[in-house]
Amino acid sequence: MATKKAGGTAKNLRDSNPKYLGVKRSDGTFVKMSEVIVRQRGTKVLAGKNVSIGKDHTLFAAKPGIVSFTTKSTKGFDGKPMVKKVAHVTAK
């Protein structure tokens, strides 16, 4: 006879660390050079004037200034029109 009840294994106890993605500086905010504006996976937001893009698609300010977001119409791979957001930094 067993002295203890057999313990089963749980399969749903693993989880990944949070990635803290999203917009870090909103429209109208003053940013310094190299300050992160948007952290993203893929190019959901495109880089506009005075904005550079990192190897993990992070958008950051190339010059100090004020952040603004606009929209741009582009075509997808299937030829359908789509609207993308664009981040700009107006140099001060």
**Per residue in 33-54, pLDDT tens?**
999 999 999 999 999 999 999 9
C-alpha span between 81 and 70 (Å, rounded): 16
Residue 91 predicted with pLDDT over 90: no
Residue 25 predicted with pLDDT over 80: yes
C-alpha span between 20 and 8 (Å, rounded): 34
Tell me the domains of the chain and their CATH numbers.
Answer: 22-91 (2.40.50.100)
Q: Is 47 helix (H, G, I), strand (E, B) or coil?
A: strand
pTM of the model: 0.81
Residue 70 predicted with pLDDT over 90: yes
Q: Which stretches of 1-92 are assigned E, i.e. beta strand?
A: 22-23, 30-31, 36-39, 45-47, 51-53, 59-61, 65-75, 81-91
C-alpha span between 67 and 49 (Å, rounded): 10
Report, as an integer, the average pLDDT of 9-29: 91
Residue 2 predicted with pLDDT over 90: no
